Amino acid sequence: MYTMMQVCRELDLTYQTLKFYCNEGLVPNVKRDKNNRLQACPFCPFSMNMLSGTENNP
């Protein structure tokens, strides 16, 4: 599992870009707190592959 900042570093994205993707629904299973703010939710390998444009083919 990855945090938002780990995803940003791994994929060379800005935090704002990743936040935009989450807000637009491009990242599945994003969690929000009671104030509707993005939580430091874990990203699964599927999300990482989707964001990087690669597939996980065994």
16-40: per-residue pLDDT in tens?
Answer: 998 888 888 887 777 777 887 776 5
pLDDT of residue 26: 80
In a domain, 57, yes or no: no
45 belongs to a structural domain: yes
Domain range for 20 is 4-52
Strand partners, 32: 38
Asked if residue 16 is part of any domain, the answer here is yes
- Does position 51 have pLDDT exceeding 80, yes or no? no
Domain count, the chain: 1
* pLDDT score, position 55: 54
Q: Say whether pLDDT at 56 is over 60.
A: no
Residue 11 burial by CB count (10 A; 0-12/13-18/19+): exposed, middle or buried?
middle
Q: Looking at the domain assignment, is residue 58 inside a domain?
A: no
| CATH number for the domain that contains residue 43 | 1.10.1660.10
The backbone torsions φ and ψ at residue 21, rounded to the nearest 5 degrees and listed phi first, read -60, -45
